[in-house]
């Protein structure tokens, strides 16, 4: 096999145009004119004992390709032009077995950087710093995830121990024999079923593109974009069905509370559907949603008037309050109170659902507080509250930091409607106000922010703000408080308020 040797010379002229034809320095070397519209590329084509050569160059370079037989006496290995040209030799004559290899041997110590090298220079110090920052970010995320697990375990342990104590001493509270594990059974059943259902439903939500839109959220929550939402689709039905099954579908109060919960879940489902599927930015129009919520509250009031439900001392439309107030008969005002409670609680839980686990944990504590408060009035309704609390706790296994699914309006509106239904059936509005203190603070922060802004804008011409952001948990996060710390603090405050609300409800009856 005949061996070939080729040498190329790259010249950098100081000025002037390239020659249209590059002359051959020796016989047997073929040169062709170059096209200036393409970058460096060489095309070799074997033809007998010669190689046909084609080349391209830019307007700033000149490329010479020379090919000769290995036996020729002429060599360009050490050629350096007087104008500063630098030569490189391409050799394929290392042996017959290596004819297909091309070896690049620089002749001089001059390196010509390419455009890629100029723009992609490696900086070891910068790379190491970036890697360290990345590892720090990952460690912080892992620590926050651990905090979410510890917070969730603490909440579950607290509620389980509390319900076991209540079941063991329930006869002292209601003065009537109750079945064993009256509250812990619905709580545990709902928690286990919802947590198991989440492992099936959450992947399905992701496949179905049911993902959260975060256009209204702070920029630091951009990492939550794409998280599955509408978790209320498996949270609410399980809580409702478990409560109905355990009471044997025989309790009027539980049936009414379940109906109100499903009605609010339907409103939330419509809102989520328009926002996620129809890509309407705000879902339902606010005035339409308020009208629907008021309609459900009005219907619930008239349903209470036509049904024989349990009430303190067999008197309807009364609100039990601690002494010296006692029982307060509301009369026709009970309609306004019921509708206001439904609307405020539903939208309050929705506003609270801004951090991972915040709405679910506070709602679970509120349900437990209401279950204890209504236990002497309607023990079946306390089963409904315990079942909904267990459903919220089971949902926290997927909603804790970092959340894999959100409730959506389907879940938040339904939870608020369920709390309001428990209060409307028994008149326990005051214990509800106490046990849902965190939710009330979230709503008050929005009301104060809007009112103060409009007032200062009317007086001074420029609106001013009380908080950096609303609801309240966004303000705390803007002040530098970490998300798991805010959630843990909300759980502690809700636990204290829940115990006090349960005490107030028991002494009121």
CA distances from 30 to 68, 154, 193, 322 (A): 9, 84, 82, 108
CA distances from 373 to 102, 167, 348, 405, 502 (A): 87, 14, 21, 31, 5
Asked if residue 267 is part of any domain, the answer here is: yes
Q: Is 367 a residue whose pLDDT tops 60?
A: yes
Claim to verify: residue 196 and residue 100 sit in the same structural domain: no
Claim to verify: residue 195 and residue 327 sit in the same structural domain: yes
Model confidence pLDDT, tens digit, residues 330-340: 888 999 999 99
Confirm if 324 and 414 have CB atoms less than 8 A apart: no
Angle at 497 between CA 495 and CA 502, to 5 degrees: 95
Q: Which of 119, 147, 162 is the last residue of a domain?
A: 119
Asked if residue 500 is part of any domain, the answer here is: yes
Claim to verify: residue 109 and residue 195 sit in the same structural domain: no
Task: Give residue 309's pLDDT band: very low, low, confident or very high (50, 70, 90).
Answer: confident
Claim to verify: residue 469 and residue 342 sit in the same structural domain: yes
416: enclosing H helix or E strand: helix 408-426
Asked if residue 169 is part of any domain, the answer here is: no
Asked if residue 139 is part of any domain, the answer here is: no
Claim to verify: residue 113 and residue 196 sit in the same structural domain: no
Claim to verify: residue 108 and residue 198 sit in the same structural domain: no
The two counts, helices (H) then strands (E), for the chain are 15, 8
Claim to verify: residue 76 and residue 192 sit in the same structural domain: no
pTM over 0.95: no
Averaged pLDDT for residues 399-417: 92
For the chain, what is the domain count?
Answer: 2
Asked if residue 144 is part of any domain, the answer here is: no
Model confidence pLDDT, tens digit, residues 99-152: 444 434 444 444 444 444 444 444 555 565 556 555 544 555 555 567 778 999
Claim to verify: residue 377 and residue 463 sit in the same structural domain: yes
State the residue range of the domain holding 77.
4-119
**Per the structure block, which two tokens stand in for 381?**
């309704």
As a whole number of angstroms, the distance between CA 38 and CA 41 comes to 8
Asked if residue 127 is part of any domain, the answer here is: no
Claim to verify: residue 247 and residue 382 sit in the same structural domain: yes
Q: Which of 119, 143, 171 is the last residue of a domain?
A: 119
Asked if residue 61 is part of any domain, the answer here is: yes
Model confidence pLDDT, tens digit, residues 425-457: 999 999 999 999 999 999 999 999 999 999 999
Q: Which of 102, 119, 136 is the last residue of a domain?
A: 119
4: enclosing H helix or E strand: strand 4-11
Angle between helix 124-168 and helix 379-399 axes, rounded to 10 deg: 170
Asked if residue 160 is part of any domain, the answer here is: no
Q: First-to-last CA distance in the chain?
A: 108
């Amino acid at each position: 096999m005949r061996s070939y040797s080729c040498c190329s010379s790259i010249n950098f002229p100081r000025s002037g145009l390239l020659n249209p034809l590059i002359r051959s320095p020796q016989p047997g070397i073929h040169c062709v004119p170059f096209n200036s519209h393409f970058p460096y590329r060489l095309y070799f084509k074997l033809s007998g004992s010669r190689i046909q050569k084609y080349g391209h160059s830019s307007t700033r370079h000149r490329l010479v390709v020379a090919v000769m037989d290995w036996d020729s006496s002429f060599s360009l290995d050490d050629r350096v032009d007087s104008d500063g040209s630098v030569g490189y030799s391409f050799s394929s004559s290392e042996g017959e077995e290596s004819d297909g290899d091309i070896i690049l041997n620089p002749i001089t110590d001059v390196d010509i950087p390419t455009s890629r090298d100029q723009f992609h220079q490696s900086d070891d110090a910068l790379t190491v710093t970036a890697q360290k920052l990345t590892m720090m970010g990952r460690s912080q995320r892992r620590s926050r995830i651990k905090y979410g697990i510890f917070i969730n375990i603490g909440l579950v342990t607290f509620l389980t121990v509390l319900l076991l104590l209540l079941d063991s001493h329930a006869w002292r509270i209601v003065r009537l024999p109750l079945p064993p594990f009256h509250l812990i059974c619905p709580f545990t059943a709902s928690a286990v079923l919802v947590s198991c259902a989440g492992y099936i439903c959450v992947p399905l939500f992701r496949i179905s593109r049911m993902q959260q839109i975060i256009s209204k959220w702070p920029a630091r929550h951009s990492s939550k974009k794409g998280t599955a939402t509408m978790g209320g689709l498996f949270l609410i039905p399980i809580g409702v069905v478990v409560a109905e099954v355990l009471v044997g579908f025989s309790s009027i109060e539980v049936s009414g509370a379940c109906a109100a919960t499903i009605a609010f879940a339907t409103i939330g489902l419509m809102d989520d559907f328009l926002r996620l599927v129809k890509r309407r930015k705000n879902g339902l129009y606010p005035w339409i949603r308020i009208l629907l919520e008021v309609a459900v509250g009005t219907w619930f009031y008239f349903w209470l008037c036509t049904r024989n439900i349990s009430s303190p001392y067999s008197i309807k439309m009364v609100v039990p309050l601690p002494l010296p107030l006692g029982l307060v008969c509301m009369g026709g005002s009970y309609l306004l109170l019921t509708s206001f409670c439904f609307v405020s609680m539903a939208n309050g839980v929705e506003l609270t659902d801004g951090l991972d686990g915040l709405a679910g944990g506070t709602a679970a504590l509120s349900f437990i507080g209401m279950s204890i408060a209504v236990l002497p009035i309607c023990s079946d309704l306390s089963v409904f509250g315990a079942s909904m609390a267990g459903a919220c706790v089971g949902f926290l296994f997927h909603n804790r930091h970092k959340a894999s699914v959100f409730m959506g309006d389907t879940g938040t509106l339904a939870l608020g409607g369920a709390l309001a239904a428990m209060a409307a059936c028994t008149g326990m509005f005051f214990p509800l106000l106490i046990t849902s203190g965190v939710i009330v603070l979230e709503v008050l922060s929005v009301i104060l922010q809007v009112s103060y802004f409009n007032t200062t804008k009317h007086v001074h011409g420029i609106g001013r703000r009380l908080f950096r952001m609303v609801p309240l948990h966004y303000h705390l996060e803007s002040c530098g408080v970490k998300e798991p710390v805010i959630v843990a603090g909300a759980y502690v405050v809700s636990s204290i308020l829940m115990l006090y609300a349960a005490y107030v409800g028991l002494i009121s009856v």
